[in-house]
């Protein structure tokens, strides 16, 4: 399956001036031979920086869970204090009133201060992570616009001019062009996020608002919510309501002007996924328009390093939506790549518990003239193990989509790896025993050393008792 850039397991690993690109396939990603490392396309570099940031933010939600647990503990301390030390305790309509004897007032103020601080942290942390995601999207858009203007400087707004005094300050024409580009980007980024998409559509001829139609309501609402968090502490404004209404966002009745918006985990997850999809779709639409010589490379990166990567992370819904987008938009892709993406699309549905739907979609495609690699993927999807084993032996050690690592790591072979006959067929093809990545970790001498050291410490501690 697809590798992630910059050092993740299964990614491009630099060795001197060469790199080994490990791809685990048929979920479905091309295998690569050892080759001199080439610089990633600039459109891809910009996108992957943003996507990595979004994934990091999602992981950072652990800090919110920790803070929530801390707040619960501190709230319980208050409850215990009230039960044991407060007087004249009364409860009415969900509210509690009580008196704190002067002897315990300092203790109570300290407990209350700690509880209130953790409550504020619970409010601040998810908002900060959310704002960071949208702010990083602004960086992504700014860089994307610069890439396009560098490629197509003729689309710089004609009203952007330089005075004679300005020109005298620049040593080269390139410096002057960079100055105009920076002015264009600066003016654009001060506008709304919806206006960013309008500008890109107008300047590039790609109707992004139409192609992102399903994303626009969520995208507009979350970017406007970010503005509220940054400028007015999340208090709903007339502008927020107006902008949401313009794109048919359904606003709950309690979300009236003057009320305060929150940030729960589900909303955060949905928002980050929306930004992930919008950034990916915009990048590939514009990349394929302006760099048609890189279409094959963009196909491989989309399939291997986005779709398959998401499947490996069990983000089936996100992977499915992006693959549906690719199915509709990547009309220039080779038939082989389109069929590989179709297999991955079916795989997302199968792993999400919709096997019948997955098989129905695969059966609509004519596989009669395709390669054995793709036939193997179809057989694996259908759990046709007899056909899988036959094709494994026929394909041999390596092909366009399949190599040894594919069988060890690819999600499409997850069930296959547990079949009783699989180890024997694998050994017949590769002349070695099948060892899963998990077994490798368990047998790693470094891990064994850690386990042995920990065991000794536990035995020693038990002896002292």
pLDDT digits (tens, 9 = 90+) for 238-251: 999 999 999 999 88
* Of 93 and 453, the one with more pLDDT: 93
Averaged over 395-403, what is the pLDDT? 84
Q: Which pLDDT score is estimated for 425? A: 94
Cα distance between residue 280 and residue 302, in whole Å: 9
For the chain, the C-alpha Rg in angstroms (whole number) is 28
Under 8 Å CB-to-CB from 80, ≥6 apart: which residues? none
Cα distance between residue 308 and residue 310, in whole Å: 5
Helices (H), 396-431: 404-409, 422-430
Q: Which pLDDT score is estimated for 23? A: 35
Cα distance between residue 137 and residue 223, in whole Å: 10
Q: Which pLDDT score is estimated for 164? A: 57
pLDDT at 32 over 80: no
Kindly report, residue by residue over 138-172, the tens digit of the pLDDT: 999 999 998 988 887 777 666 566 665 666 676 67
* Of 25 and 264, the one with more pLDDT: 264
Give the max Cα distance, the chain: 87
Residue spans of beta strands (DSSP E) within 235-377 = none
pLDDT at 33 over 50: no
Kindly report, residue by residue over 296-328, the tens digit of the pLDDT: 999 999 999 999 999 999 999 999 999 999 999
User: What is the model's pTM?
Assistant: 0.82
Mean pLDDT of the chain: 85
What's the pLDDT band for 26 if we cut at 50, 70, 90? very low
Averaged over 382-393, what is the pLDDT? 95
**Count of CB atoms within 10 A of residue 196's CB?**
21
What's the pLDDT band for 2 if we cut at 50, 70, 90? very low
pLDDT at 25 over 50: no
Cα distance between residue 413 and residue 26, in whole Å: 9
Kindly report, residue by residue over 209-235, the tens digit of the pLDDT: 899 999 999 999 999 999 999 999 999
* Closest to 117 (Cα-Cα) out of 162, 78, 167: 78
* Closest to 271 (Cα-Cα) out of 133, 463, 101: 133
Cα distance between residue 267 and residue 372, in whole Å: 43
What's the pLDDT band for 400 if we cut at 50, 70, 90? confident
b/e map of 96-129 (b: 16 or more CB within 10 Å)? eeeebeeeeeeebeebeebbeebeebbbebbbbb
pLDDT at 20 over 70: no
User: What percent of the chain is modeled with pLDDT above 70?
Assistant: 80
Cα distance between residue 45 and residue 36, in whole Å: 18
Give the torsion sign (CA, 209, 215, 216, 222). Answer: negative
Kindly report, residue by residue over 95-109, the tens digit of the pLDDT: 899 999 999 999 999
């Amino acid at each position: 399956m697809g590798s992630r850039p910059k050092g993740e397991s299964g990614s491009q690993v630099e060795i001197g001036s060469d790199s080994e690109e490990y791809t685990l396939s048929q979920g479905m990603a091309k295998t690569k031979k050892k080759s001199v490392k080439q610089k990633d396309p600039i459109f891809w570099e910009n996108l992957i920086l943003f996507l990595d940031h979004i994934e990091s933010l999602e992981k950072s939600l652990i800090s919110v869970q920790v803070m929530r647990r801390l707040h619960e503990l501190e709230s319980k301390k208050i409850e215990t204090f009230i039960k044991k030390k407060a007087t004249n305790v009364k409860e009415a309509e969900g509210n509690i009133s009580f008196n704190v004897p002067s002897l315990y007032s300092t203790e109570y103020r300290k407990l209350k201060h700690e509880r209130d601080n953790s409550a504020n942290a619970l409010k601040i942390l998810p908002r900060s992570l959310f704002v960071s995601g949208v702010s990083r999207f602004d960086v992504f858009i700014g860089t994307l616009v610069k890439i396009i203007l560098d490629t197509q400087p003729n689309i710089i707004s004609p009203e952007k001019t330089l005075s004679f005094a300005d020109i005298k300050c620049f040593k080269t024409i390139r410096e002057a062009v960079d100055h105009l580009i920076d002015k264009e980007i600066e003016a654009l980024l001060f506008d709304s996020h919806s206006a960013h998409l309008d500008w890109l559509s107008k300047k590039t001829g790609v109707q992004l608002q139409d192609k992102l139609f399903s994303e626009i309501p969520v995208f507009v609402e979350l970017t406007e919510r970010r503005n509220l968090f940054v400028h007015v502490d999340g208090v709903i404004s007339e502008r927020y309501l107006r902008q949401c209404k313009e794109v048919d966002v359904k606003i709950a009745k309690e979300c009236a002007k003057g009320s305060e918006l929150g940030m729960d985990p589900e909303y955060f997850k949905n928002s980050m996924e929306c930004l992930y999809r919008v950034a990916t779709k915009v990048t590939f639409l514009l990349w394929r328009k302006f760099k048609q010589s890189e279409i094959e490379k963009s196909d491989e990166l989309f399939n291997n390093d986005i779709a398959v990567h998401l499947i490996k992370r069990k983000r089936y819904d996100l992977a499915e939506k992006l693959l549906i987008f690719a199915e509709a938009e990547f009309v220039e892709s080779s038939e082989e790549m389109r069929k590989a993406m179709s297999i991955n699309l079916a795989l997302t549905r199968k792993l999400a518990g919709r096997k019948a739907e997955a098989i129905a979609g695969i059966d609509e495609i004519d596989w009669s003239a395709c390669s054995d690699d793709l036939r193997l993927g179809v057989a694996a999807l259908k759990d046709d193990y007899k056909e899988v084993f036959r094709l494994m032996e026929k394909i041999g050690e390596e092909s366009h989509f399949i190599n040894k690592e594919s069988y060890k790591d690819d999600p499409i072979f997850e069930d296959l790896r547990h079949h009783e006959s699989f180890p024997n067929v694998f050994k017949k093809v590769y002349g070695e025993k099948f060892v899963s990545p998990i077994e490798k970790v368990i047998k790693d001498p470094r891990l064994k050393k850690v386990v042995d050291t920990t065991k000794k410490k536990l035995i020693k501690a038990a002896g002292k008792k």
